[in-house]
Amino acid sequence: MAGVLGVAVIGTGRMGADHVRRLHEVTSGARVAAVADVDAERVKRIADGIEGCSAHTDPAAAMAADGVDAVLIASPGPAHEAALLAAFEHDLPVLCEKPLTPGSASALRVLEAEQRLGHRRVQVGFMRRYDAEYVKLKSLLETGQLGRPLMLHNRHRNVATPPGFTSEMLINDSVVHEMDITRWLLGQEITAVTVLKPTPSGNAPEGLQDPQLVLFETAGGAVVDVEINVNCGFGYQVQAEVVCERGTARIGDGHSLVTNMAGRWGGTIAQDFTERFEDAYDRQMQAWVDATRRGEITGPSAWDGYATAAVCEAGVRAQQEGGRVEVELAKRPPFYA
Ligand code: NAD
Ligand code: ISE
């Protein structure tokens, strides 16, 4: 495709509005051609700020609008399957925010529908794969200098949860990123999940099991731990340390700016994901637009969306029933090789 890519953005809440801004102000080679949201006022307000952008309350109507070549889905997870199937009807390339869908059965239906199209159409918004530090870490592991990865320690901390955030969402909404990054960094599927539950923090809303310690086992015999701690109060932190046979490598310390003043040294901590991963969201968008304009689909696939949904299911069972739960994963179709 030679021209500018016209994108329909479905869902204009926190992430969708930020993606609209990004496409409009940061990304090159793309424009926001249409927006859709069930909230008519919100979607009109957003479209009014962008020349040539139409507003819709029906996602399918936005996808059928003039000048739309591709779709970005940023509605809540339960609305993703319908939006993906509508995009497939128009044979449009899609960048779909995580999760692909909230369960493995619905994710499998999406895989089957994409395979019926005969070509890949979906990139899933696991944006950490575009974070400069994670990219460096993966490149280092791939050189083999450190030897085989034995363990991966992760910390995932949020300042506070929004209203309605449940104990299951610590797994489905938050740890899903570590599921993807583990599979990507180590190049191995996750085979089993165990969840340990400390006495909840006094910062956590009543009834929320926060924090949790989540353990993955991988097909290659690595063990991965994730501290998920989403009402820590002090900042948004995502850190990872890989322990290999000949050394370790660690990212996410946030030491890019260190100040010395009045007998103290220190820096600042990001307060949310839009700040910590701003560059990653930008790079993800540019990579998707560039690949789409070349007629290619790159980045995390619908298979990655399905595989993480399957791990989430094992994780929620482990959280609720206790013990070690094995991940039930379908055979990977050659289509997603
Ligand atoms: P949000 O609640 O702020 O926004 C969702 C928007 O979608 C709302 O404006 C709502 O009116 C609209 N909506 C609801 N149902 C719809 C439908 N059927 N069709 C069209 N619009 C609909 O949510 P959010 O925080 O922006 O999350 C959106 C998506 O982004 C979710 O899938 C979430 O998991 C994902 N997300 C990803 C990251 C990340 O780091 N990659 C961070 C936050 C959220
Ligand atoms: C949110 O939905 C995200 O995707 C963020 O990246 C994550 O850090 C946060 O915990 C989730 O709630």
Cis before 198? omega within 30: no
The predicted structure's pLDDT at residue 1? 58
| 117 CA → ligand 2 middle, Å | 31
- Gap between the Cα atoms of 9 and 337, Å rounded: 29
- Gap between the Cα atoms of 145 and 154, Å rounded: 21
pLDDT tens figures, 68-104: 999 999 999 999 999 999 999 999 999 999 999 999 9
**Ligand 2 proximal residues by C-beta, below 6 Å:** 158, 173-174, 177, 230, 273
E strand intervals along the chain: 5-10, 30-36, 54-56, 70-73, 94-97, 122-125, 149-157, 190-196, 212-218, 223-229, 237-244, 248-251, 259-261, 264-266, 324-326
CA distance readout (Å), 294 to 23, 92, 238: 17, 14, 33
| 174 CA → ligand 2 middle, Å | 5
Quote the pTM value. 0.98
Distance between first and last Cα of the chain:
25
Give the torsion through C-alpha atoms of 191, 303, 248, 256, to 10 deg: -140
- Gap between the Cα atoms of 159 and 201, Å rounded: 13
Taking residues 25-41, what's their average pLDDT? Answer: 98
Check whether 133 has a pLDDT greater than 70.
Answer: yes
The predicted structure's pLDDT at residue 142? 98
Beta carbons within 8 Å of 179's beta carbon, 6+ residues apart: 190, 216, 307, 308, 311, 312, 315
125 lines ligand 1 (CB under 6 A): yes
Domains of the chain, first to last = 5-127+279-302 (3.40.50.720), 129-276+308-336 (3.30.360.10)
Taking residues 27-41, what's their average pLDDT? Answer: 98
Give the chain's mean pLDDT. Answer: 98
Give the closest residue to 253 by CA, choosing from 112, 121, 153, 184: 153
One-letter amino acid for residue 107 of the chain = A
Q: How many residues does the chain have?
A: 337
The predicted structure's pLDDT at residue 2? 63
Ligand nearest to the CA of 10: 1
Tokens in use for 264? 């103290």
10 lines ligand 1 (CB under 6 A): yes
Kindly report the CA angle at 76 between 11 and 158, in degrees rounded to 5? 110
280 lines ligand 1 (CB under 6 A): no
| φ and ψ of 52, to 5 deg | 80, 15
Check whether 336 has a pLDDT greater than 80.
Answer: yes
Report CA 98 to chain centroid distance, whole Å. Answer: 4
The predicted structure's pLDDT at residue 256? 87
